[in-house]
Amino acid sequence: MYEFGRSYLCDSSTGRTKHMSACRIIATIFLSSLLLACGSSSPSNPSPTPSSVPSPVASPVPSPVPSPTPSSNARAGVSILRGASLLTTTAFAPNPIAVPVGGTVTWMNNDNVAHTSTADGGAWNSGSIAPGASFSRTFASAGTFQYHCAIHPGMVGTVNVQ
């Protein structure tokens, strides 16, 4: 009762109804298994879509960025760090610092020893800034100003006035 490629249980031409229900069960299990195997919402191995012509990609158009308007009340702070006398370009933070023309920089001494903020060209000298004290200077013109601590000359910094 078996022919190659044909199963007796699923042969509807034999007229056996008890075997028809077995065919339906087997077919239902097969289809259910197939649906479960193919029903994943995210493929485990996606195949790339072939494309003979690359699609054009729009490049973003840069929008103009407004320049900050210099303000005479712009303020910036520089911290004189703990252990600053052992540091060089990292003794003042941030370094360099940028302010607009008319802006004010305030140096705050967060160390436990005195320091100064002294311009390399002599444009300003804070005198001794005690621990916990501060010194401020307003910059009226644009330029790059190098400064140092007169007590610890290895401590250096830069103010960029734009």
- Same domain assignment for residues 23 and 79: no
Total number of domains constituting the chain:
2
Alpha-carbon distance of 92 to 117, in angstroms, equals 10
Looking only at the bridges linking them, the beta strands covering 143-148 and 75-80 are unpaired
- For residue 82, tell me if it sits in a domain: yes
Whole-number average pLDDT of the chain: 76
Domain of 6? 1-40
d(CA 139, CA 149): 19
* Per-residue pLDDT, 74: 86
Domain annotation covers residue 4? yes
**Per-residue pLDDT tens for 5-34?**
544 444 445 555 555 566 576 666 665 555
- My answer on whether 35 and 79 are in the same domain is no
CB 161 within 8 Å of CB 100: yes
Give the tokens for residue 50.
Answer: 């072939």
Residue 6 bridge partners (DSSP): 3
Question: Does one domain contain both 32 and 79?
Answer: no
pTM confidence score: 0.56
